[in-house]
Structure 1
């Protein structure tokens, strides 16, 4: 038997839209979940009078709203703002609330560049690749040359975003720029992996032969590719395709019915297309 959780306030007739996270909130419990789940990404932008007004008018939480208005007027910290909401609602145990406040408090010490990167990192994690790239490129243009480590991380993640959209040529360029900035091994490996994905076997082998300095790294890439191939071979999609291939071959010789094979191919392809569209929103 599942436990019933009593709500605080009322369910909002009009949602509160949190632009950064692309989410509509209909209750203070949903707000609490977002604050805990996205604690690493919270900053002063979350402290909005519109949110407090929504809690007051839509969720009927005037006591909480008055406390938050006081914090805003006193220019209180983001950690205090988040903690006030979580403690009022009591959806989470004290240790979770304390840990969330600690995370938010630590993030308040980040530089403006690091906070901006955190927003782009969230979009990248959510596979919103175009939006992430726009933020990364905007940040890269404003990051001073003294921030070499940060520049390298931005360049690397631009490569990740391109690879996520199957733009392997562009991904390779970003990964190499990242590697040249801080000489990190991970960026070099992904540079070689991107080149491998965008070249025939012969072209890639010829490239490695022309660059003996990449020989050891290329061996690591091959091991990465083998592990990735093994993961796909064990996936449900691949097992289904293998099974259907058997039916197709037997159908041609016995039943003359290849429709299930091509129907499943169409279904899997449609799923991949939908997933790709979601990446590029």
Structure 2
């Protein structure tokens, strides 16, 4: 009899403990797609907080770029670094931000290799929220890089004729395009096997786009074949739009082109990325 009583006590105790642990009341609602994406974006920000070295590419790298090209080419191309930076700074801002978009794909690939995304896929949330949130977090990095470049440019003598509104509009347009451009590297982050592969492919695409553009010199000074490529380069269109806004003008055609191109990039590569992620 004592054995039966003891068994009853042993089996009933866990049941009672489990009842106390279970939440009483209605089941919480499933978070919306926007709420889940913002939460994953906050995760990306917290990663920067705990590993601040991740900000090296959006602080030290842009400063080096501005100083290097201003004082390396300024005297030869414009007579003085102060004159050259008026032309150079919007282009360097575009170059630096577009270059760091590749780290979105690198981060996604790293999370996949570590098995983090397998855990995310088991959560009762909108499945692509982890991808969208990662890009949301990187938008903060784009803004930081833009402000760092603007700050060093102002210290070196850059004076935008467009004032605060022109600069803000130019940075907003740059961040919009970078958000769309990041979807390309997110797709590669899902396709390729290692983060080194993602970085290698990204560099292979980004370097020609950023250096064969109107960032450093006017396309009219180039050979005809090269000038034709530069004029068709999407980075050239973006630089022209940002440069015009910061100069106080409004190039409707270029601004509209950047907005439409951004929408197309999201529609094409965002869709491909979602399908790849759902099939993994």
Task: Tell me, yes or no, whether TM beats 0.5.
Answer: no
Q: With structure 2 as the length reference, what TM-score do the two structures score?
A: 0.22
Which of 1 and 2 has higher RCO (CA within 8 Å, sep 6+)? 2
Q: With structure 1 as the length reference, what TM-score do the two structures score?
A: 0.21
